[in-house]
């Protein structure tokens, strides 16, 4: 049985760059992503609203799929990856055919491709 990889991404507050690793949230609401760099553990403060968890899935190009990504799923349309309770994820339809429809993330197929995310590419969400 494969181990589930639990990691997060978030956009740095200072440099507008994505960082990947473990999530730390302080009581004051600040969010940090911690990552290993050589022998040291580093942390970067990130914008809390940009934090997304890795789904454990990869698109057809091998790219990791995260909460907040926008995915084109072959002929079935364009979807936003949403979180559900207990580390599960769903698809929210953002194309005309499936607008505002919800499906389990298991509906993604081998043609799925990450085409952006809701933070860097808001123009892909036609609401």
**72 and 113 co-located in one domain:** yes
**105 and 117 co-located in one domain:** yes
Three-state SS annotation for 47-103: CHHHCEEEEEEECCCCCEEECCEEEEEHHHCEEEEEECHHHCEEEEECCCCCCCCEE
> Which tens digit of pLDDT belongs to each residue from 109-120?
888 999 999 999
- pLDDT value of position 19: 92
Beta bridge partners of 31: 25, 46
Task: Residue 26: give the domain boundaries.
Answer: 8-49
**With bands split at pLDDT 50, 70 and 90, how would you rate the model's confidence at 42?**
confident
**21 and 42 co-located in one domain:** yes
Per the structure, the count of domains in the chain is 2
Q: How far is the C-alpha of 9 from the C-alpha of 51, rounded, in Å? A: 6
Residue 2 lies in a domain: no
Query: Starting from the edge strand earliest in sequence, which strands make up the sheet with 69-73, in order?
Result: 102-104, 89-93, 78-83, 69-73, 112-117
Angle at the Cα of 5 (from 16 to 62), degrees rounded to 5?
Answer: 70
Residue 77 lies in a domain: yes
Would you state the torsion angle of the CA atoms of residues 100, 104, 109, 114, taken in this order, to the nearest 10 degrees? 60
User: Which pTM was predicted?
Assistant: 0.87
**60 and 107 co-located in one domain:** yes
> Which tens digit of pLDDT belongs to each residue from 50-102?
999 999 999 999 999 999 999 998 878 899 999 887 668 999 988 777 787 88
**74 and 24 co-located in one domain:** no
**56 and 118 co-located in one domain:** yes
- CATH code of the domain covering residue 57: 2.30.30.290
SS3 37: strand
Q: How far is the C-alpha of 114 from the C-alpha of 122, rounded, in Å? A: 14
**44 and 56 co-located in one domain:** no
User: How far are the Cα atoms of 1, 30, 82 from residue 20, in angstroms, in the given order?
Assistant: 24, 16, 18
């Amino acid at each position: 049985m494969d181990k589930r990889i639990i990691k997060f991404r978030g956009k740095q507050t200072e440099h507008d760059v994505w960082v990947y690793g473990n999530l730390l949230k302080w009581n004051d609401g600040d969010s940090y992503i911690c990552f290993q760099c050589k022998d040291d553990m580093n942390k970067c403060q990130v914008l809390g609203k940009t934090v997304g968890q890795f789904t454990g899935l990869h698109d057809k190009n091998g790219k990791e799929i995260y909460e907040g990504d926008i995915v084109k799923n072959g002929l079935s349309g364009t979807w936003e990856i949403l979180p559900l309770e207990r580390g599960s994820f769903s698809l929210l339809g953002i194309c005309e055919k499936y607008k505002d429809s919800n499906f389990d993330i298991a509906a993604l197929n081998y043609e799925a491709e990450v085409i952006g995310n809701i933070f860097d590419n808001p123009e892909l969400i036609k609401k």
